[in-house]
Every structure is written in C-alpha cells, then in structure tokens.
A and B are shown apart, each in its own frame.
Chain A
C-alpha cells in the first residue's frame, strides 16, 4: 500500500486515540471506572495499530541509530549502572517534583483535582472539565512517552512495549492511587520484587511479579500503602 495512505490512516488512528478519552469519559452511561479502563485499552489498541502501520513490528535499538552511546558508570560503592539508568532516575525525580508542585500549588492543578473528584460541580464553577481531562490525559501520555523513550534507548524498542504500562498499574495501586508520595515506595517495592525474582527465580516469573505484588496487596490493604480508604469508594 502507498506510504502516504498509511501515514494518513495512522494519523487518523492517533487522532481518534487522543480525542476518545475526553469525549468518552463523561458521555458514557456506565461507571467511571469501567469507562476509564476501556478508554485506556482502546487508546492502546489504536496507538499500537498506528505504530505497526507506520513502522514495522521488528525489534530495534535506537541508540546506535541516533549515534549515541550508553557507557556504564561506576557508582560510589561499586555498583555499575548505565548512563541511561541514571538519566531515568533523574527524569523520574524531576517529573515527580514537578507534578507534585503542579497538583498541590498551581490553580490549574487544584482545578484538575477538583474536576477529577466531581466533574459536574467543577463545570458549575466555570471549569472546562473536558479540557482539563484532555490535559490530564496529555500529561499522563507525556510521562508515559518519556518512560518509553528512556526504556527504548536503554533496552530495546518494539511495539509490544505497551505491556510495560500494565506494570505501572501495579506500582500505582501498591503505592496508593490517590497518593503521589506513595508512587516512590510502590515503585521501589515492585522493582525490587522483580529484580529479586529474576535473580532467584526465572524470567517468566519476573514478568508476572508486579501482578503478584498487586495480588498480595489487594486482599490485605486494597487502598495501597499510602492511599486513603475513601479513594476505594471513589473509583
């Protein structure tokens, strides 16, 4: 098929993927949780189809193509990590602080939290909650894309990277969905379990280890380590 036609189709898929969440989330007659989950899945399907249409589904290593190197660094204490590992940690920390400040202090961030709690009331207070929902999807997409860029440069690039996103759910829930501060301990726990199961178990077990963490957490403390019980009722 002609390349421009494919690009056009991919663009169409991409646009649908970005417009759908904002449109669907409040139109839908069912509970907000199902809507959000379905919209996320739909978005993943659309974007993946777009990517496979434009690129191939081959595994690639972008770093050499960019002409960049990823030299190992020795940390004090003897540990060896790659440069992109360090970069990933730095980006995560910056993003974390930035998001925290945005949501706690800026008027837009407070409006976003308000719209997240009660979209209809937010609209009655002059907040364009559809725009804010779109913005929050964009922010989430931005953070996800950053993670993807760093991971692809550090490890490899292939269209099935999306599975990585599922692990993020485990991290968010273990830390507590409404607790930004819980993200860090949540991520540390999930990552530690994964690394340990690679070392002492097998790689297949490591793939499911985030989900095992989640399953261990849910019956005991469903709202997560640092979440609040009220959040359980909301989503």
Chain B
C-alpha cells in the first residue's frame, strides 16, 4: 500500500550554511496516527515545515531527499497548494486569526479543491465541525483573539478539518494545555481518524500523550531519526521509558541529579 505521506532522506539547511536535519525518512500509512518525538532542537518542527513547504520564511531550504504525498513528489511545492491537496498543518503557535471572529475564521479558508478519483475526500461541513467541537458553536461571533488556549486549539483543528485533509500534521497539540484538555483533544484526534479516515502525524514533546493514541513512533535527536518502531516496541524500550516517559528502570521517582546525567548515558547508537 502506498503511504499517504513519506519522507525520503530529507536534508534541510538554514541560512545556506547550517544543516538542521539530515537523512530523515519516515512514512505515515493511510488511517494511521504516527508520533514524532524529540526534545527541543531535535529538528521536529523543521521536519514539519519542510513537509508543508514553509522553509522560505525562515531562510532555510531542502537540499536533499524528497517528500512524497500519496505517491507523488511534492518537495518544495508552495504551502497553499499542499493544503488544497489535503496535507494540512495545525501549527504550534499563531494557529488562529485573532482579529477575525470565530465564524470568519471558519470561512477564511479554501477547502481542498483537488478531487482524488479513486478515493474521494468526504466534504466536511460546518455542522460536523460544531458536532466535534460543540464549545465553538456558542462563540461564533466572538473574536478568536479572546479564546482560551484550549478553545484556540479546537478552532485550529476545526479550520484544518474544513480544508478536507487527507493527512493532518499536528505540531505540539499539547503545548500549554492542562493534562485533562490534552487527554480529550488526543481522544478527539483518534476519533477524527476513525470517522473521517485521516492519517495523522503528531509531533510531540509530551510522549506519553502522543503514544497513547499513536500506533507507530519515530524518535528524533540532533536532526536525525535515531529510533523507530511500533508503539509497543517504543514503550518497551528502556531509554524511551527513561528519557521520554520519565519512568526509571527501578520503580519509583528519580532524583534530579540522576536525571541530569542522562545526556551521558544515552545509547541510541
């Protein structure tokens, strides 16, 4: 089966000089939720930006490898074209138009125009959106700038859904949100996958929340993918448990001084 999204040896360079990611390959099969984990500066966001065609604004460029979307090479295509094809990003911050009302936010987008003949994308209606995000229905006339963090995230997901995505790229869904909100949003993402047949690439620092809904995971460090596997395999890996889930080999909590040593004791390679 052709994966919905596939990266082949992607390499990105900033300011024509500094390599940010190198040899990054990953695949997102249809209908799967795939997690991309990593600490700050690992290259997760750069990878996402490279996929969605956004590097120009940061003076970066793809110098090697390709991005395949449903089997077609889309490396370096402009972001609006990718969005119309069905590759839609929910960004980390700046995710709603703050000077527009909620209603206008939901109208200010171009739903995917390209129809895939073999598997037509189902249209997403406003009713469906309000069904998934009932909290937004009561706030249609409010400026999006006055929404709370959780509501913003919902609005961002809602506008992304209205673009009729085939693959949803979600950057840091959990950022700045309370654990309970994160849990419900993750459950919602899983529900959207089931009901709308989306494939999702979750880019997360909160590994626990991401692995709870994902089926496959990649771990990034220093601009490379260092480990990947099914969620079961990741959860069984000693280092993932220790460094990403905070669960030590021994039972009980670890002291700060022990955690501080973790850079030295990594053993991916």
Contact = CB atoms under 8 A, between A and B. Distances in A.
A and B touch in the complex (CB under 8 A): yes
Main DSSP-derived SS at the B contact region: loop
Contact of B97 (A29, A117, A126): A117
A91 interface: no
B61 to A, nearest CB: 13
Interface in B81-103: 83-84, 88-89, 91, 94-100
Interface stretch (A70-78, A107-115, A160-168): A107-115
A125 B94 contact: no
A123 B110 contact: no
A124 B97 contact: no
B104 interface: yes
A16 B230 CA distance: 54
Contacts of A128: 78, 80
B170 to A, nearest CB: 12
B78 A123 contact: yes
Contacts of A230: 98-99, 145
Contact of A118 (B97, B104, B111): B97
Nearest to A118: B94
A126 B53 CA distance: 12
A126 B110 contact: yes
A3 interface: no
Interface of B: 52-54, 56-57, 59, 78-80, 83-84, 88-89, 91, 94-100, 104-105, 107-113, 145, 159-160, 163
Contacts of A196: none
Classify chain A: how many residues form its interface, as a range.
Answer: 20 to 34
A124 B100 contact: no
Nearest to B111: A126
B52 A124 contact: yes
B83 A123 contact: yes
B83 A126 contact: yes
Contact of B109 (A26, A27, A113, A125): A125
A123 B163 CA distance: 11
Contacts of B96: 121
B57 A127 contact: no
A122 interface: yes
A125 B159 contact: yes
A104 to B, nearest CB: 9
B83 A26 contact: no
B110 A125 contact: yes
Contact of A110 (B89, B100, B111): B100
Given A121-B91, A125-B163, A126-B163, A114 B80 contact: no
A27 B57 CA distance: 7
B213 to A, nearest CB: 22
Given A110-B107, A126-B80, 8 more contacts: A110-B104, A111-B108, A114-B108, A117-B98, A121-B94, A121-B97, A125-B83, A126-B84
A143 to B, nearest CB: 22
Contacts of B104: 110, 113-114
Contacts of B100: 110, 113-114, 117
Interface string A9-45: 0000000000000000011010000000000000000
A29 B83 contact: no
Contacts of A118: 94, 97
Contacts of B160: 124-125
A126 B96 CA distance: 14
B80 A27 contact: no
B177 to A, nearest CB: 19
A120 interface: yes
Interface in A119-147: 120-129
